[in-house]
Amino acid sequence: MKNTLIAPSVLAADFANLQRDVEMINKSEADWFHIDIMDGVFVPNISFGMPVLAAISKHAKKTIDVHLMIVDPDRYIKTFKDLGADILTVHYEACNHLHRSLQAIKAEGMKAGIAINPHTNVALLEDVINDVDLVCIMSVNPGFGGQSFIENTYKKVKQLKEIIVRNNANTLIEIDGGVTSKNAKQLAEAGADVLVAGSFVFNAENPIETIADLKKITTL
Ligand code: DX5
Ligand code: ZN
């Protein structure tokens, strides 16, 4: 049986009721908290920063998966460890020395992830696949929640899965952007291990049920 992990993106939460939404994720069948950090430089938007993550960490009872959409992320690796990150993902396009960044994340005791933009070919990851715990394939251009899913993603998931198998790696494949109950099953079948879902979960009438549905349809 394949158990696909569900990671609600807190970017889509109600920030005026953040503790309520964090408790909702705690209570639900969700596996991880997905935390989007944007700097207004790498992506054309600014989300939230350290004090907000500290507040989330205080209440979160599940794995904290931090997605850094910032330039030169090496500056903040230790900071995010101290803020409670369990997994720290940096963008391929934002790192000049990606191999070094991955080692620095792991040296702090976190799992290391690489996110790739929709235009970045998965083949570029072949030489670091054994050094990375997670690859986050962006299925929208990063920067905003609520965008529509890019269909080319299925092909990328399959290609990446081949690279992982060929190299005997145990890297997880995460999909981020535009995930709904319409594409979740096909993504899991293509080889995705973790699905991030922001607006689909938080705009739903019943987020707890929506998470349970996503979990059910992606259990293969
Ligand atoms: C986009 C972020 C995503 C976003 C997903 O830059 O990385 O994690 O919150 O939101 P939805 O699921 O609404 O596309
Ligand atoms: Zn994200």
User: DSSP letters along the chain, please?
Assistant: --B-EEEEBGGGS-GGGHHHHHHHHHHSS--EEEEEEEBSSSSS-B---HHHHHHHHHH--SEEEEEEE-SSGGGGHHHHHHTT-SEEEEEGGG-SSHHHHHHHHHHTT-EEEEEE-TTS-GGGGGGGGGG-SEEEEESS-TT-SSPPPPTTHHHHHHHHHHHHHHTT---EEEEESS--TTTHHHHHHHT--EEEESHHHHTSS-HHHHHHHHHHHTB-
**Closest ligand 1 atom, residue 201 Cα:** 12
All domains of the chain in start order, with CATH: 5-217 (3.20.20.70)
198 is in an annotated binding site: yes
35 lines ligand 1 (CB under 6 A): no
Do residues 174 and 137 touch, judged by C-beta distance below 8 A? yes
Q: What is the pLDDT of residues 29-80, one digit of tens each?
A: 999 999 999 999 999 999 999 999 999 999 999 999 999 999 999 999 999 9
177 lines ligand 1 (CB under 6 A): yes
pTM, to two decimals: 0.98
Cα(133) to ligand 2 centroid in Å equals 16
Tokens 């903040």, residue? 76
67 lines ligand 1 (CB under 6 A): yes
| ipTM field | 0.99
Cα(146) to ligand 1 centroid in Å equals 7
Q: How confident is residue 20, by pLDDT bands cut at 50, 70 and 90?
A: very high
Cα(153) to ligand 1 centroid in Å equals 15
113 is in an annotated binding site: no
pLDDT score at 26: 99
Q: What is the pLDDT of residues 102-125, one digit of tens each?
A: 999 999 999 999 999 999 999 999
Catalytic residues: 36, 176
**Closest ligand 1 atom, residue 67 Cα:** 7
